[in-house]
Amino acid sequence: MTIRINLDVIMAQRQMRLKDLAQQVGITEANLSILKTQKAKAVRFSTLDMLCKVLSCEPGDILKYESDEDGQGKG
């Protein structure tokens, strides 16, 4: 099981820079970069809420679930 964070796509569609989004969401650019590059192990609901508000989107627009190729999740 893999959960992808599609911030780069949504940010490009909204023509939003990392610096601007981080400032509006209230997190550091470094933490937003970790989310954007798929390196985050968890996302706070409060952060997801602010991302959705600032980007005018739904959580499902940001988070995408991808099953394993063999069809069996791990864990």
CA-to-CA dists, residue 47 to 4, 44, 50, angstroms = 16, 5, 5
**Has residue 74 been placed in a domain?**
no
Domain for residue 58, yes or no?
yes
69 within domain boundaries: no
Instruction: Please count the CA atoms within 13 angstroms of the CA of 52 that sit on its side-chain side.
Output: 14
Tell me what pLDDT residue 31 has: 97
Per-residue pLDDT band for 25 (boundaries 50, 70, 90) equals very high
Look at residue 75 and tell me if it is in a domain: no
In a domain, 21, yes or no: yes
Which one-letter DSSP state was computed for residue 46? H
Maximum distance among all alpha carbons in the chain?
A: 40
16: domain CATH number is 1.10.260.40
Residue ranges making up the domain that contains 12: 2-64
Mean pLDDT of the chain: 92
Distance separating alpha carbons of residues 28 and 22, to the nearest angstrom: 6
pTM of the model: 0.84
